[in-house]
Amino acid sequence: MSGVVLTQAHSIVILSKMHTDLSTHLHSEKCNELIRLLQECHNDHPYRKFVGYCNSLDHQMTKCLKEERLARRQRNFEKSKEMKEKLRRLLREDTNLE
């Protein structure tokens, strides 16, 4: 069971994976602001961050990054449908020429 840990009380805890690259040119202004706030929180509270002090910002940032990822995935899916249709058209035209 990757990503799942059973505690002694047998409750399931989902482990989060690392987030994507946080470079500013890759994200929206909204997500960049959350990234900046989280980094400031980590810098301002170097020990509290280990006990969850910045978790609220981390969850907000993760949610924002997920929304971006899903939107990007949908755009890529739509683009792939267009490309497949274009390829089908070209193949039909090519077979009609023969």
Is there a contact between 2 and 12 (Cβ–Cβ < 8 Å)? no
pLDDT of 8 higher than 90 = no
- What pLDDT, on the 0 to 100 scale, is given for residue 98? 61
pLDDT tens readout for residues 77-97? 999 999 999 999 999 888 876
pLDDT of 42 higher than 70 = yes
Number of independent structural domains in the chain: 1
**Cα separation, 55 vs 38, whole angstroms:** 9
- Determine the structural domain holding residue 31 and report its residue range: 27-97
Please indicate, yes or no, if residue 87 is contained in any of the structural domains. Answer: yes
Please indicate, yes or no, if residue 19 is contained in any of the structural domains. Answer: no
Please indicate, yes or no, if residue 11 is contained in any of the structural domains. Answer: no
Contacts of 36 (CB under 8 A, 6+ apart): none
Please indicate, yes or no, if residue 20 is contained in any of the structural domains. Answer: no
Q: Which of 12-21, 58-67, 73-82 has the lowest mean pLDDT?
A: 12-21
- What pLDDT, on the 0 to 100 scale, is given for residue 96? 75
Is there a contact between 42 and 49 (Cβ–Cβ < 8 Å)? yes
- What pLDDT, on the 0 to 100 scale, is given for residue 72? 96
Please indicate, yes or no, if residue 7 is contained in any of the structural domains. Answer: no
